[in-house]
């Protein structure tokens, strides 16, 4: 038995069995049930993926927070260096590799739905190869952190120490190319509880080891970075051991030279997935950079950083739905169940939107108290209170948009969504933010409002129209042909 994240106890074995037999006949029988029963059945399937996904994301996020907290006790310079290295360098890296790994949600999800289990292990190995090569290409990002930061105007002492920290985080960098595909490989088979348990064990180990090296062994900054590297590799080792030593007997049949065939097609899908998510991930980071060029920038940047931190924590929930929706849609399309994929989309969007509305209300009710956990500065508190309305609507839109992106991943639309993101975010949203911020002199409120209206809201509307007009039966036929093509040709 496992907790599904909504307080309901779910029998994991029966759930997996239910998904294994999700043929067109089964789906049609489910769709003949009363709506509330259909909704409950699909919600159990969805939360079986979403709950552990949210937990594992929060756990890994907390590892960086713990490292930053201990670095803060060492000094302001150490805190600044660790914050820049983890939030900017690793954050950029993580966003790109996460996007590329999401190609597995399409391929493994559809193959699992089609019961073509052997190919899941092959896809996993192809993803390792592609992401490992990508990690090598991205190495200069870590090696040349110091000169890049100096070029961008960072103080020399912060740039120097940030460069040292970034170089020390190279093991974390390479752990991502193995960890992220393993997670998506397991999610596609609904083996999600192991991801949550391994993440919890790594978080506990990280907390204890960090406390020991800082307070007992007094290894200071070097010790905290070494512990962070070890903790992330513990996740890789735990997931890999589960997969290889009997956890996935149907989908893992050992290493195969077949993994080296069909790599170019895999690269194209991975690249499209990476671009799609990176364009979203970088969008609001640019907002902070633009705000830094305003008058009274320090207070505004502090206030905006607090808002982005709150948004970042809450975003773990929609990102969980992103993963869950991608897997559910891919499973149903791979099984040839267009109606099942459509209903999975409806349930996921509805559930995530309800959660977003709850947070929207909470932020509006407690807008004066939002920043108290971060600061006691009255000017910053007032600025956060003023920005709370924009934060509320950002969170509300972010409860819908990632779910629609999950539908795109499950359906294999990554390349189309990449173009949509580029157009909405960078050709409409950023220029609108610039105009409202500087031309109409509305400051950070104008920049953020322009980016929401021109970028996030418009992109969400476009994805909603595309999803609502989708011919799901045709998509199911295409997915079935796609799975057979990859299995036979590659």
365-382 pLDDT tens trace: 998 887 787 677 788 888
Residue ranges per structural domain of the chain: 5-489
Neighbour tally for 162: CB within 10 Å: 26
Mean pLDDT lowest for which of 22-36, 172-186, 253-267? 22-36
Average pLDDT over residues 26-55: 81
> What's the pLDDT tens digit per position in 381-414?
888 899 899 999 999 998 998 899 889 888 888 8
Long-range contacts of 459-462 (CB under 8 A, 24+ apart): 459/401, 459/420, 459/421, 459/424, 459/425, 459/429, 460/397, 460/400, 460/401, 460/404, 462/420, 462/424
Residue among 316, 345, 319, 317 at smallest CA distance from 330: 345
Q: DSSP of 60-123, one letter per residue? A: HHHHHHHHHHHHHHH-HHHHHHHHIIIIIIIHHHHHHHHHHHTHHHHHHHHHHHTT-THHHHHH
329 falls in which pLDDT band (50, 70, 90)?
very high
In Å, how far from its chain's centre is CA 22? Answer: 27
- Per-residue pLDDT, 209: 92
**Partner residues linked to 2 by β-bridges:** 10
Average pLDDT over residues 319-348: 90
- Per-residue pLDDT, 295: 64
Q: Which two tokens stand for residue 147?
A: 């000169």
- Per-residue pLDDT, 482: 65
- Per-residue pLDDT, 285: 67
**Is residue 305's pLDDT more than 80?**
no
SS3 content of the chain, % helix, strand, coil (to 5): 85, 0, 15
**Is residue 16's pLDDT more than 60?**
no
Report pTM.
0.79
- Per-residue pLDDT, 63: 87
> What's the pLDDT tens digit per position in 88-141?
778 778 878 887 888 888 888 888 888 888 889 999 999 999 999 999 999 998
Average pLDDT over residues 52-68: 85
Q: Which residues contact 299 (CB under 8 A, 6 or more apart)?
A: 377, 379, 380, 383
**Is residue 214's pLDDT more than 70?**
yes
- Per-residue pLDDT, 11: 42
CA distance 258 to 345: 33
**Is residue 172's pLDDT more than 50?**
yes
- Per-residue pLDDT, 298: 63
25 falls in which pLDDT band (50, 70, 90)?
very low
- Per-residue pLDDT, 393: 93
Average pLDDT over residues 73-85: 73
Element (H, E) at 208: helix 193-211
Residue among 171, 238, 174, 176 at smallest CA distance from 203: 238
CA distance 304 to 474: 44
- Per-residue pLDDT, 388: 92
- Asked if residue 174 lies in contact with residue 135, where contact means CB atoms within 8 angstroms, the answer is yes
Instruction: Report percent pLDDT > 90 for the chain.
Output: 32
- Per-residue pLDDT, 470: 92
Residue among 328, 349, 319, 278 at smallest CA distance from 61: 319
Residue among 249, 331, 246, 324 at smallest CA distance from 18: 331
pLDDT mean across residues, the chain:
83
Mean pLDDT lowest for which of 180-184, 228-232, 260-264? 260-264
Q: Across 434-478, where does the E strand assignment appear?
A: none
Average pLDDT over residues 254-273: 84
Residue among 341, 437, 463, 454 at smallest CA distance from 22: 341
């Amino acid at each position: 038995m496992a907790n599904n994240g909504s307080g309901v106890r779910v029998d994991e074995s029966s759930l997996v069995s239910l998904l294994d037999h999700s043929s067109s006949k089964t789906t049609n029988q489910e769709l003949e049930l009363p709506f509330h029963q259909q909704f409950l059945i699909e919600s159990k399937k969805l939360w079986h993926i979403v709950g552990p996904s949210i937990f594992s994301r929060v756990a890994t996020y907390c590892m960086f927070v713990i490292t930053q907290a201990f670095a803060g006790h060492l000094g302001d310079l150490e805190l600044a260096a660790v914050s820049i290295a983890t939030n900017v360098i690793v954050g950029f890296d993580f966003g790109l590799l996460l996007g590329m790994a999401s190609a597995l949600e399409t391929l493994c999800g559809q193959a699992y739905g089609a019961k073509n289990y052997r190919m899941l292990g092959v896809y996993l190995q192809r993803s390792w190869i592609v992401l490992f090569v990508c990690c090598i290409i991205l190495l200069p990002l870590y090696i040349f952190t110091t000169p890049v930061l100096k070029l961008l105007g960072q103080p020399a002492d912060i740039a120097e120490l940030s460069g040292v920290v970034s170089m020390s985080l190279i093991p974390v960098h390479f752990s991502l190319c193995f960890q992220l595909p393993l997670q998506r490989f397991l999610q596609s088979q609904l083996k999600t509880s192991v991801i949550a348990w391994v993440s919890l064990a790594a978080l506990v180990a990280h907390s204890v080891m960090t406390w020991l090296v800082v307070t007992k062994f007094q290894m200071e900054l070097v010790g905290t970075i070494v512990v962070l590297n070890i903790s992330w590799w513990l996740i890789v080792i735990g997931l890999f051991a589960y997969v290889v030593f009997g956890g996935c007997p149907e989908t893992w049949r050992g290493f195969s030279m077949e993994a080296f065939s069909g790599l170019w097609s895999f690269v194209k899908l991975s690249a499209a997935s990476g671009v799609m998510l990176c364009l979203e991930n970088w969008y609001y980071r640019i907002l902070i950079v633009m705000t830094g060029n305003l008058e009274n920038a320090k207070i505004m940047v502090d206030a905006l950083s607090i808002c982005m931190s709150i948004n970042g924590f809450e975003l773990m929930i929609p990102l969980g739905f992103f993963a869950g929706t991608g897997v559910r849609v891919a499973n149903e399309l791979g099984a040839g169940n267009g109606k099942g994929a459509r209903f999975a989309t409806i349930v996921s969007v509805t559930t995530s939107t309800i959660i977003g509305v709850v947070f929207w209300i909470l932020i509006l009710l407690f807008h004066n108290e939002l920043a108290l956990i971060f600061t006691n500065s009255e000017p910053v508190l007032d600025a956060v209170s003023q920005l709370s309305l924009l934060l509320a609507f950002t969170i509300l839109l972010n409860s819908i948009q990632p779910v629609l992106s999950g539908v795109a991943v499950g359906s294999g639309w990554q390349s189309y969504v990449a173009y949509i993101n580029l157009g909405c975010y960078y050709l409409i949203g950023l220029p609108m933010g610039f105009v409202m911020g500087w031309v109409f002199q509305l400051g950070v409120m104008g920049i953020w409002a322009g980016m929401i209206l021109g970028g996030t809201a418009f992109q969400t509307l476009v994805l909603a129209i595309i999803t609502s007009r989708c011919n799901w039966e045709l998509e199911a036929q295409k997915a079935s042909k796609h799975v057979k093509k990859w299995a036979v040709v590659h």
